[in-house]
Structure 1
Amino acid sequence: MPGIDECLLEAMTLPGARGAAIVDWTSGLALGSVGESPNGDHEATAAETAEVARAAAEYRAFAPADATYDDTESGPYDSTGGGTYDGADDDAKGLPVEDLILTTRAGFHLIRFVETTFDSSVFLYLWLDRCTGNLALARRQLRDLSERLVLR
């Protein structure tokens, strides 16, 4: 089972990979990064992608249509105070989102949430070149890496 460094190096073997990171989305800190960064600063990229990941994980708009909510209390998946996503009908251990894909003119930005036995707030981030990257292969590989990743 790969650790952080091994996971990032494996992600960089994907066709078109330009940069990769493992980020804590609650703090916005990179636990590790490799390759290039879209804005030239790995820490700034980690903070910016954490904002996107946090929005996707916390708001109801991204929950499955058949999900059930507890409207009596505020919680970690709804920052507006209108109820929490309880994850009862979801196989993703509470998070309604598996991964995110952002497409720009020059590349693809993939965010894959890492599920752990503890309350994880970590995701894998991969930046792919749009001309040479293989989006389908990258999604499959990130899913595999997220399932095998061991956080030490």
Structure 2
Amino acid sequence: MANVEVSLKETMTSIEGALGVALVDYTSGMALGTLGGGKHLDLAVAAAGNTDVIRAKARTMEMLGLQDEIEDLLITLGSQYHLIRLLKSRGSSGLFLYVVLDKANSNLAMARHQLKRIEEALEL
């Protein structure tokens, strides 16, 4: 089992093209931990903004009467992928992992696979 710091480091090193990662509480919008980012990628701002994305999608699913759970959300930009994975493991209710990938240097399928594996090992 890995703690938050180890999981964030593993995300950055095991997912090719990772530019930044955050573990976020979507009830408050607060980042519980971040790694990477930079002056053009403020992960605290992104954490709060992506909380709104999750809330909007959950409301839409409710209005549509969909009885399902969000696995992950993908936002594609010209040069980046923004991957949001809602955590389902024990003790992680209300949390998501947010990863920004360099589109030219990443494999989206492998990133999703690695993120699922990292989620399963995360101990909160």
Higher relative helix content: 2
Q: Which runs of 5+ in 1 are unaligned?
A: 61-77, 91-95
1:33 aligns with 2:17: no
1:120 aligns with 2:93: yes
Paired-residue identity, %: 41
> Over residues 55-86 of structure 1, what are the superposed CA-to-partner deviations in whole Å (9 max), with x where a residue is unaligned?
223332xxxxxxxxxxxxxxxxx4xxx6976x
Query: How many angstroms apart in 2 are the aligned matches of 1:119 and 1:6?
Result: 16
Q: Which ranges of 4 or more aligned residues in structure 1 deviate by more than 3 Å?
A: 37-40, 82-85, 116-119
Q: Which runs of 5+ in 2 are unaligned?
A: none
Question: 1:10 is matched with which residue?
Answer: 10
- TM-score between the two structures when normalised by the length of structure 1: 0.72
- TM-score between the two structures when normalised by the length of structure 2: 0.88
RMSD, aligned CA:
2.1
**Greater relative contact order structure (CA < 8 Å, 6+ sep):** 2
Higher gyration radius (CA): 1
Q: Which amino acid is 1:42 matched to?
A: L
1:59 aligns with 2:60: yes
